[in-house]
Amino acid sequence: MTDLVAVEQVKKVFPLAGGGEYIALTGIDLTIKQGEFVSLIGHSGCGKSTLLDMIAGFSQPTAGSVSMEGKPVTKPGPNRMVVFQNYSLLPWMTVRQNIELAVKNVLTDLSPAERQQVIEQHIDMVGLRHAADKPPDQLSGGMKQRVAIARALAIRPKLLLLDEPFGALDALTRGNLQEQLMQICEENHVTAIMVTHDVDEALLLSDRVVMLTNGPESKIGQILTVDLPRPRKRMEVVNHPNYYSYRSEIIYFLNQQKRIKQLRARKQSAIARHGLEKVNLEIGYVPLTACAPLVIAKEKGLFAHHGLDEVNLVRESSWRGIQDGIAGRHLDAAQMPSGMPVWLTVGGMDNKPLPIVSALTLTRNGNAITLDKRFNDEGVYVLDDLKKHLLKTPDKQHTFGVVHPSSMHNLLLRYWLASAGIDPKHDTTISTLPPAQMLANLQAGNIDGFCVGEPWNTWAAMEGIGYTIATDLEIWNGHPGKVLGVREDWSLAYPNTHVALVKALLEACRYCMDGNNRDEIRQILSGADYLGADVEYIHLGDPDANTCDLQPSPAAYAHHQFFGQGVNRPSRTEHLWLMTQMARWGDIPFPRNWVEILERVCKISVFSIAARELGLPDITYSRGPIHLFDGVTFTAEDPIAYLNSLEIKHDIYMAEIPLTAPVARTA
């Protein structure tokens, strides 16, 4: 397909009363190909209609250019036709006359008979033969919009521009018109750009969905290619295996933009008090039992006790929300999977290194591998049983869910499978899902099992959906589960605040480890503001003997460690193991400058200061080598030799990761 429309580095600025200005759009680059259907989607005020107006020629960009077929768009023209939400029909003219007006003024090279043929053809095209001589006030909303579409298409434009054309229609009429428009565009090879708020409409009609960030200064945040076969039927397209993944991608983007808007509204400049550079913090977390230290620090006043007067806990549904919040500077700090600081630092997100530091391990253990209940019914009780089952069903695709490429869940599951000679890449499919969606996907049969933190393993077993085949106590007892992560430039800009944050959370970890507090903590976590789960699914330490006990499952529960000797101090050896495993499976290159990266990521000095000021010097020692269930002992001596020794692995590649010099961001 050839390029039809080119939008290059477009910026649009509107003057405000009093001499100010409003930057609506900035840095917009977009190319539309001949015959393509593209939707623009985003929240109100993101500049969708403004961009459409510039492509139509109704307004000009402040900077950059809009061109069609290589020629600048400087004014409206008959090669571009716009369909508005409000129909824009002349009320004193009939259906035929409204279409005729456009045809007579544009298709002047045709004879009267040819023009009349075009008019009648388009009346039939939109199914309005019975209403051809009726004025608009005798038509329904859907019929009026069909007249507008027929009028737009009758002049044979090269580009159809639609500004929420179905927004005012009822659901049934809207659905029917969507299918008619889609059929018309496909049969006549019409190129179309549509502004919409409707995710399902965008997926049904579009080849690509262009997602715009919040205004002011809106940008293109993401472009999603919709690879669904045509012709499409509204009631059938939802059954395509990729439909809901596309839908989730758009909804995630829109939800993130909504969250960013809320955080911007709440965000203040750094407030300094109590000798701290900043006391108003936004801290991200995902609702899991492992978020207990953050919740307790908030609910028991430990943040305030250490001078952090204005701490807001930002609940994210997935770890992707955490990474985006940290990368976009919408979060000051976050609970992270233990591998995320390294993953972000070496460029796991969009191949752009983002130095992250971790000065505190918040939890250890707390994860388990759960399989669908049918595996238990078929005699799959241990890893060797699972291997035999996979060998017996080579034609069936077995899928397992994990929460993030950098999560210990992903790395433990892959290590566990590979230790039995099961190649996670070729013998199974590993899918990334938000933690809260694991149960629904397991119950629906979309996945065969998952590795995730509590309470989801307990919940699956107690509901009879799945069973625990292995816990992290068996695979690597004492592994880091969740850590505190902040941007390196943030840590350098607010060093005293960083120490205060670690102190508050370290005290919260100690509170969580006290058995006398467990019932209280479970009740707090079960609230709608946090996990929103029944308290019987939430356990912090040794649970009741009956919980999750599906014999002969080898272990019943994944135990959390929140505090103790060697529990909270960050370990360079552990971060190095995480680095090797992510490189092993091709999620990141193994960095040649791995020593530098470990020094940058592991802020042992910040932890040591916090522990010393709390009077806890005895918990600061190193944990030493890592001992895994398969008899392998990992040390930091020669990680490259370790990688070379692995029998099952992805093609491992190495690279020097360029990190900017550590410079504090201006507060």
pLDDT attached to residue 550: 43
Last residue in a domain, options 156, 172, 195: 156
- Predicted local confidence at residue 666, as pLDDT: 53
Mean pLDDT of 481-510: 97
Give per-residue pLDDT as tens, 45-66. Answer: 899 999 999 999 999 999 999 9
Pair (147, 290) in one structural domain: no
Average of per-residue pLDDT across 158-162: 88
pLDDT the model gives residue 573: 94
* 174 confidence band (pLDDT: 50, 70, 90): confident
Q: Is residue 372 part of a domain?
A: no
Query: What SS3 class is residue 521?
Result: helix
With contact defined as beta carbons under 8 Å apart, do 335 and 362 qualify? Answer: yes
Number of domains comprising the chain: 2
Domain extent at residue 135: 85-156
Is 13 a member of any domain? Answer: no
Q: What is the pLDDT of residue 554?
A: 40
Show Cβ contacts of residue 567 under 8 Å, excluding neighbours closer than 6 positions.
361, 364, 509, 561, 619
Residue 199's pLDDT band (boundaries 50, 70, 90)? very high
661 lies in a domain? no
**Mean pLDDT over residues 171-181, rounded?**
77
Amino acid at 123: I
Is residue 172 pLDDT above 80, yes or no?
A: no
Cis peptide before 61 (omega within 30 of 0): no
Place of tokens 């199914």: 127
CATH of the domain at 358: 3.40.190.10
Which of 101, 133, 156 marks a domain boundary?
A: 156
pLDDT in tens, 206-241: 999 999 999 899 999 999 999 999 889 888 888 887
Residue 547 has pLDDT above 50, yes or no: no
Residue 202 lies in a domain: no
Q: Residue 548: how many CB atoms within 10 A of its CB?
A: 27
Instruction: With cut-offs at 50, 70 and 90, classify the pLDDT of residue 456.
Output: confident
User: Within a domain: residue 329?
Assistant: yes
What is each CA distance from 563 to 485, 519, 543, in whole angstroms?
A: 18, 17, 18
Model pLDDT, residue 553 = 45
**How buried is 223 (Cβ within 10 angstroms: 0-12 exposed, 13-18 middle, 19+ buried)?**
exposed
pLDDT single digits (tens) 231-280: 898 888 888 878 888 898 899 899 888 888 877 777 667 888 889 999 99
d(CA 117, CA 375): 66
User: Per-residue pLDDT averaged across 120-132, rounded?
Assistant: 84
Q: What is the pLDDT of residue 551?
A: 47
Query: Residue 566 has what pLDDT?
Result: 87
Question: Does residue 312 lie in a domain region?
Answer: yes
For the cut 80, the answer to whether the pLDDT of residue 309 exceeds it is: yes
Question: Is residue 257, in this structure, part of any structural domain at all?
Answer: no
For residues 353 and 499, state if they share a domain. Answer: yes
- Co-location of 610 and 483 in the same domain: yes
Q: Of the candidates 117, 135, 156, which is a domain's last residue?
A: 156
Q: What pLDDT sits at residue 178?
A: 82
Residue 510: strand, helix, or coil: helix
Angle, alpha carbons 494-331-574 (nearest 5°): 80
Handedness of CA 325, 326, 330, 334 (dihedral sign): positive
- Dihedral class, residue 464 (left if φ above 0, else alpha if ψ from -120 to 50, else beta): left
Tokens 């005798």, residue? 138
pLDDT reported for residue 621: 65
String of DSSP letters for 85-131: TT----TTS-HHHHHHHHHHHH-TTS-HHHHHHHHHHHHHHTT-GGG
Please report how the helices 141-154 and 112-125 are oriented relative to each other, as an axis angle in degrees rounded to 10: 140
Q: pLDDT band for position 559 (50/70/90)? A: confident
User: Is residue 265 assigned to a domain?
Assistant: no
172 CB-near residues (< 8 Å, 6+ apart): none
Q: What is the pLDDT of residues 64-107, one digit of tens each?
A: 999 999 999 999 888 888 887 776 788 899 988 888 888 888 88
* pLDDT 10s digits, 598-638: 999 999 999 999 999 999 876 766 677 899 989 999 998 89
